[in-house]
Every structure is written in C-alpha cells, then in structure tokens.
C-alpha cells in the first residue's frame, strides 16, 4: 500500500536543498503552523501568506503552503480572530493547512533568491555580497568488506558524500586487512563467536558537508553488512561553500542606468520601479539583493559596484547614494515572487518519479500592496 506523503516528507525534500541552519539569527523559518504528520497531496508556493492566499489554498484543497515571508514574524502574544492576523491563523488551523517558511535561508542558498535574481540579469562572475555562512566539512572513512564496497560507497555518494565542484562520488579507496574477535552475544555477518577473524576490507575515504552528514551516515550504515560499522569522522579545516546575502556580478555589456532599469523592469515583469542616479551614467558591475537591501548598500559601494538593485529603499538611503553619485534601482520587495516558480520546479522534479503524485502549484492571487499612479 502506498501511503500519502506528509508535511514532514516535503520538508525533508526542501531541506535537502535549503537548510534551515542557513537562516540569519533573528529569522523565523521552518514549519510555523500545522503538524509534520499532516498528509499532503497538494502544496502551494507563495511569497506571502495573506488572506487571499489562504482562501486560494482552501479552494484548491492545499494542505501545505511553502512561503518566503512568515505570517507570524512578530512574536504572537495574542491570537484575536477579529484582526486580520488572528483571522488568518484561525483559517489555516480550521482547514488543516500547514505553513512552512524558507526566508533568509532561501536568500543565501545556492540557486536561491539572490542567485535567481543574478540569473535573470545574466550576471557574470557572480560572487556573494555579504558572507553569512561557511559550510563545515568532514572527512568520513569507513571500513567495508570487499564484496560490499560498491553498494556502500554508491549509497554514500548518492546521499551527498564526495561532492567536489562538478564531481560527485569522489572517494579514495585502499585495501587492507580488518580484524575482529566476536565476543559472546555478537551476531557476526562474517566469522564465528570466540574466534579471531581476518577479513579483506577496503577503507573508503570521502568528504561530507555538515548538512549531509546524518543522511550519508544513515545511508552508509544501511548498506553495510556488519553488525557494528567501524568508521571515523574528522572535522576538517578546509572551507566548504560560502553562502551569503546578495550577489555581485557584471552585466554582459556596459549600459546606461536607464537601459538597465528598463531591463530589470522587463525581466522581472514589474509595472514600475524607482531609480537613484543619472539616466545616462554607465553601469557594468551590479549588486542584487532581493528584499530590503539598503543595509548592504555601503558594502556594495565600497566593493566598487556601479549600481545596486534591491527593494525598500527609503528617502535617506536614496540621499546617501545620490551624494556619492551612486546608482540604486528600487525594484520593490514584491520582485521576490520569482521564488515561486523555482521552488515549484524543484519539488516537481523531486516527486516526478514517485508513485504517489504530488500536485505543486503557485499562488496566483497574491498582489503587490503598492500600486503605481503615473
Ligand atoms: Zn522578503
């Protein structure tokens, strides 16, 4: 019998890509409403969990909303159902709709918000603007009888061990002799209780990022024939991937600020945007930061960036940039809706070959609260 997927299953799939550990310290991410045990056959992706979005979820029979912005960002001390916020929580609970949030962990993720933005503008030589997280790496070495070598190391590689750049399943394997003496109560796969046993074994060494460690060890033990699996785990001083907020990169060619603004507007399907700087000034090096990036403007400016594209730029931020003849494009916070299609296609890919189909949709009803009157 095929059992229905649960909220927990979907979370596991999402967290294989976007770790909650990558979120900024004050951020609230993860499952914030609902139960991990809730069965799911329809997931909806949304930027914000508004009342319109929840109504849409109810009409579509959605059991899980995956959102970028949490509806419970401020610590909730009261749930008053005559307020829009309380009403929203009540609607979600009454219809058993869970909410899972990927916020700053999605912003910094490889392939997350800021990479998506950089890709839309076809930026070259893309780097992180503000480093927030550096992946820890471990060396894992395990001793396996020769005949189980392939299935153990393939399982480890499939679970994420030995990934270096564009290569996976990177290991070093050396053969030798393992010894063991099964004592009373042991149930050895090879050898006899009370006798010293020598076995031809292979030592498989590989590198594992902290995020994949548990999965890799579980996969390794599941495929290993021994009752007691001998393995060593060493923390490494080598640095893993660097994650962070915002991206810096170069446009494919020099252009005027106005041309870039038009390009941003077209590629992000915006009704309008605001710009600080002279329309004719030339730009090539660009910083992008989805959401509220004003806090990182100075950093981008110091790094010699010609123009920063972000949202929520206020009057004083604009004055600061203007005083330095520096350019800023405020494309609005709502541009972050580009996350929806990317999360949808990720989940669809993960569950494409699964026996139990999962419907993944994106919210079509959410709207930018700002309107342009020109
Ligand atoms: Zn945001």
Distance 68 CA to ligand 1 centre (A): 7
Distance 337 CA to ligand 1 centre (A): 9
pLDDT of residue 322: 97
The residue among 312, 339, 332, 314 whose CA lies nearest residue 270 is 332
Question: What is the enclosing helix (H) or strand (E) of 297?
Answer: helix 297-302
pLDDT of residue 200: 94
Distance 9 CA to ligand 1 centre (A): 25
Burial (CB count <10 Å: 0-12, 13-18, 19+), residue 1: exposed
pLDDT of residue 4: 81
Could you tell me the sign of the dihedral formed by the alpha carbons of 99, 105, 108, 109, in that order?
Answer: negative
Distance from C-alpha of 336 to C-alpha of 67, rounded to nearest angstrom? 11
Distance 109 CA to ligand 1 centre (A): 14
Name the stretches of the chain with pLDDT < 70: 1-3, 356
pLDDT of residue 267: 96
Distance from C-alpha of 25 to C-alpha of 74, rounded to nearest angstrom? 14
- Tally helices (H) and strands (E) across the chain: 11, 15
pLDDT of residue 3: 64
Q: What is the pLDDT of residues 220-269, one digit of tens each?
A: 999 999 989 999 999 999 988 889 999 999 999 999 999 999 999 999 99
Q: What is the pLDDT of residues 143-155, one digit of tens each?
A: 999 999 999 999 9
Burial (CB count <10 Å: 0-12, 13-18, 19+), residue 58: middle
Distance 88 CA to ligand 1 centre (A): 19
Distance 295 CA to ligand 1 centre (A): 14
Characterize 326-360 residue by residue with b for buried, 16 or more Cβ atoms within 10 angstroms of its Cβ, and e for exposed. Answer: bbbbbbbbbbbbbbbebbbebbeebbeeeeeebeb
191 in Cβ contact with 182 (< 8 Å): yes
DSSP reduced 3-state for 142: strand
Give the alpha-carbon dihedral of 344, 121, 110, 152, to 10 degrees.
Answer: 80
Distance 97 CA to ligand 1 centre (A): 22
């Amino acid at each position: 019998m095929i059992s229905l997927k649960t909220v927990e299953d979907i979370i596991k799939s999402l967290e294989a890509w976007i770790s909650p550990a990558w979120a900024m310290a004050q951020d609230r991410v993860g499952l914030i409403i609902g139960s991990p045990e809730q069965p799911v056959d329809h997931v909806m992706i949304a930027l914000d969990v508004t009342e319109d979005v929840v109504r849409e979820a109810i009409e579509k029979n959605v059991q899980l909303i995956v959102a970028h912005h949490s509806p419970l960002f401020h610590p909730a001390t009261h749930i008053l159902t005559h307020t829009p916020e309380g009403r929203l929580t009540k609607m979600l609970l009454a219809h058993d709709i869970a909410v899972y949030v990927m916020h700053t962990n999605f912003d910094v993720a490889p392939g997350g918000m800021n990479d998506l933005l950089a890709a839309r503008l076809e930026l070259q030589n893309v780097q992180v603007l503000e480093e927030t997280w550096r992946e820890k790496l471990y060396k894992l070495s395990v001793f396996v009888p020769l005949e189980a070598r392939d299935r153990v190391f393939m399982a480890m590689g499939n679970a994420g061990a030995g990934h270096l750049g564009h290569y996976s399943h990177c290991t070093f394997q050396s053969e030798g002799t393992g010894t063991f003496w099964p004592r009373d109560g042991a149930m050895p796969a090879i050898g006899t209780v009370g006798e010293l046993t020598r076995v031809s074994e292979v030592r498989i060494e590989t590198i594992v990022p902290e995020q994949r460690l548990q999965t890799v060890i579980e996969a390794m033990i599941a495929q290993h024939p021994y009752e007691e699996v001998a393995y060593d785990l060493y923390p490494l001083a080598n640095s893993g991937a660097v994650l962070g907020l915002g991206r810096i990169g170069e446009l494919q060619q020099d252009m005027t600020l106005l041309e870039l603004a038009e390009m941003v507007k077209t590629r992000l399907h915006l009704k309008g945007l605001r710009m600080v700087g002279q329309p004719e000034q030339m730009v090539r090096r660009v910083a992008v930061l989805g959401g509220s990036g004003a806090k990182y403007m100075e950093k981008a400016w110091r790094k010699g960036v010609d123009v920063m594209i972000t949202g929520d730029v206020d009057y004083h931020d604009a004055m600061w940039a203007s005083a330095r003849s520096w350019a800023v494009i405020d494309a609005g916070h709502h541009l972050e809706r580009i996350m929806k299609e990317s999360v949808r296609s990720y989940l669809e890919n993960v569950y494409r070959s699964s026996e139990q189909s999962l419907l993944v949709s994106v919210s079509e009803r959410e709207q930018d609260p700002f309107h342009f009157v020109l």
